[in-house]
A and B are shown apart, each in its own frame.
Chain A
Amino acid sequence: MSKTKHLSQLRCQLARHLVSCDQIRTASAVPTGCPPLDQFFLWSGWPKGEVSLIYGSEGLGPTALWLKALPPLTQRQLWAAWVSPQHLKLCPWGLFQKDCDLSKIFVVEGHRHNPKQWLWIMGELLSTSLFEIIGCHWDHLSPPHSQIQKLRKLAQRYQCSIVILSQQQQPLKSPFYATILRTQGPLVEIERALHRPTPKSFQRRVLYADLMPQLSKKRKAIAS
């Protein structure tokens, strides 16, 4: 059979699954707030319907990286949620100073390192179909593969982007994470990003480190 006949046969079989070039769309995403990251990711942000992981010690910026996504999101009157343990809380003043709409950020404080309860809280947040992105701080043992898989299914059903922040140095890198970022020293290393060549590193300064301008504002001694 000639090639053209093969091609025409394939077209007939796959007719309902084929789309034209102008109809191709990537999965929707929540912009990270860091243009270099958005340009690198296929879906230009934290992918909806997927679970992402950012790990690294606190103070190296995993939380600050996630928080970058919130101001533009809330200004568009879209919702975000944050789940954190009892002893370490998210400070809202930084968000306030960046004109974030705090009425669109729902906070859950004090999950008790109980994986079952944590999964239940995440399930309830997702089932409202309200949130575009949910950040979850996890400072205990890494959630197992089965939990991440369940979370991913929920995220796909409700089209929400889930970002887990872990302070472990060697967290369990479940295959169900669509994106894995690591903050280490002055770098942010992208260890996994679906359909993108990895690993890829970015300077934190380039991405989001804005501590010095914040500190030196109205402080001539530091600014100089």
Chain B
Amino acid sequence: MRTLCLNFQKNEKPSLAEVFLQFSPQLQYRKPGLLFLDISSTAHLFGGESQLLREVLQLSQSLHLPLSAAIADQPSTAQGLSLYQPSSMSRPNEDSSALGPLPLAALNHLEGLICWQPEDQIEQIISFFKLVGLNQISDIQQISRDSLRQQWGKTGERLWQKIHGREQQALSPYIPKEALIEFIHLDFSVSLMSFLLHCIEKQLQRLLARLQGRGEFAQRIRLHLHCEFSGQIHLLEIQPLQACRDLDILMKLIEHKLESIELDNPIQHIEIEALPVPERIEQLDFWQPRVKDQDKVHALSGLLRQAEVHSGFFQLKDEILPEKSWQLNFEFMDYEPIEDQVHVDGKSFQIKPAHSSSLRSAPRPSLLFSSPQRISGKELRKLEFLSSYPVERLEESWWESTRGRDYYVALSPKGECLWVYHDRVEDQYYLHGYY
């Protein structure tokens, strides 16, 4: 077994273990601020132990988590090395020689997954050996197991196993149970948006790292901004168009939402919660760029949707009425026109014609009104129609109460080219669009 020990410089929350799940599924957190990972089966995925260690340190640096780390066979050895020889890696099956040069005080930190019990006994052991002039762990490695057991009982037995790298401590797979909530306690209340965004970004980054470890995406992010006075709380909820872990997109959405709230009542602490969904697994093409155009468009669509602005791609539909013949969709879908179907069965055949197939090639204006505008009699008399017969006659399903429209192209006195229709039921002319 190969163990990576991460020694956080301060007492961190157990939920932090989730951040490092991406390096190994077998990990265990122990207070105060120790994380052990079994990297025997995952180190090769990162290009070796040294590369894995480098990536762990880079990740912790990006999340502003000061820590020291070391790799050894046993968790206890790794813990000791992380403190006295940070970023070191003992050779496989050479834990005892790696521990040799360490001072006796390091015995306090050779706990691994289980603390020393009782706690003060190991201090007594260290004081005793110092009294007799021993200074390093290599000096006490020569003492027999029986002697240590006789003197200090179970603690002596454990000590012998640890300094010779014989203690077996297995790491079981970690199952995330902590809620995806991060808290930000500000020392002084803040009403400056840029500073608020900075604080939120730091914690959001950690939250997203936890999601990455869990293999989940954030479907929604909820922010509770607790104000200093009157117990006021601002609740902001952002939902990207597609569940993601993209910090830039989420920060943009948060920034846009924050602009809509008044910060006269300063914010004292913030609660960020992520609602997760399982990760979508995507087979990436080696030749394709990582950031695709579609991702940019999705991010943009999400932002515009949050601002209640309708956007997307044209989705053409086989509809008779022009205003219903397309809609905007956030995802582009190919248009598959309806074609005539011919079924041949032996010597007989059946044709099912596609009605209104000629509409696809019918002339259409550049701009269309959402709701056609009524033309008064006076305005109608000023128009010059290009033909006395309608260019097109559109009617909906015959079994419904159809209105029927006769379309004309007309020129206004200013020379504008208009698309006008005559509603046969109302006997009224409408302006529908401009060419």
Residues of chain A touching chain B, judged by Cβ–Cβ distance below 8 Å, are 57-61, 63-64, 67, 79, 86-97, 102-103, 105-111, 117, 120-121, 124-125, 128-130, 137, 185-186, 211, 214-215, 217-219, 221-222
Complex partner residue of A59 from B300, B313, B369, B412, CB under 8 angstroms: B412
Main secondary structure of the interface of B (DSSP, over half): mixed
Residues of B within 8 A of A106 (CB): 297, 300, 311-313
B:352-369 near A, CB below 8 Å: 360-369
Q: Of all chain B residues, which has the CB nearest A111?
A: B309
Nearest chain A residue, comparing its CB with the CB of B368: A91
Contact A214 B311 (CB under 8 A): no
- Which residues of B, 410-435, contact A by the 8 Å Cβ criterion? 412, 414-418, 433-435
Pairwise interchain contact A88-B370, C-beta atoms closer than 8 A = yes
For residue B300, which residues in chain A have a CB less than 8 angstroms away from its CB? 106, 124-125, 128
**B303 within 8 Å of A by Cβ?**
yes
Q: A58-B434, A107-B314 are in contact. List 19 more A-B contacts (CB 8 A).
A: A57-B414, A59-B412, A59-B434, A59-B435, A61-B417, A63-B434, A88-B367, A88-B368, A93-B325, A93-B364, A94-B364, A97-B360, A105-B313, A106-B312, A108-B304, A109-B328, A185-B415, A211-B435, A214-B363
Contacts of B296 in A (CB 8 A): 128-130
B335 at the interface (CB under 8 A from A): yes
Q: Is B150 an interface residue (CB 8 A)?
A: no
Given A59-B418, A79-B293, A89–B370 Cβ distance below 8 Å? yes
Interface residue from A63, A124, A130, A137 paired with B304 (Cβ < 8 Å): A124
Interfacial chain A residues near B362, Cβ < 8 Å: 93
Interface size on B, residues (CB 8 A): 48
Contact B416 A60 (CB under 8 A): yes
What sequence of 0s and 1s flags, for each residue 378-392 of chain B, a beta carbon within 8 Å of any chain A beta carbon?
A: 000000001101010
B326 touches A94 (CB 8 A): no
Within 8 A of A (CB), among B292-322: 293, 296-297, 299-300, 303-304, 307, 309-314, 316, 322
CB<8 Å pairs between A and B, sample of 6: A57-B416, A89-B368, A97-B360, A102-B332, A103-B334, A222-B391
On chain B, the residues within 8 Å of A89 by CB distance are 367-370
Chain A interface mostly:
mixed
CA distance A106 to B370 in the complex (A): 19
Residues of B within 8 Å of A61, CB to CB, are 417, 435
Contact partners of A108 in chain B: CB under 8 A = 304, 309-311
Given the known interface contacts A79-B293, A97-B361, A109-B311, the answer about A90 and B366 at a Cβ–Cβ threshold of 8 Å is yes
Number of A-B residue pairs, CB cutoff 8 Å, is 139
1/0 per residue, CB under 8 A from A, across B56-69: the answer is 00000000000000
Measured CB to CB, the nearest residue on chain B to A129 is: B296
- Interface pair B310/A64, CB less than 8 Å apart: no
Question: In this assembly, does B244 line the interface, its C-beta being within 8 Å of a C-beta of chain A?
Answer: no
User: Chain A's nearest CB lies how many Å from the CB of B103?
Assistant: 56
B409 within 8 A of A: yes
Known: A128-B296, A211-B417. A107 touches B328 (CB 8 A): yes
- Residue from A60, A88, A105, A111 in contact with B314 in the complex, judged by beta carbons closer than 8 Å: A105
B392: min CB distance to chain A, Å: 10
The verdict on A59 contacting B311 (CB below 8 Å), with A102-B332, A130-B297, A215-B391 known, is no
The answer to whether residues A128 and B297 also contact, given A60-B414, A215-B386 and a CB cut-off of 8 A, is yes
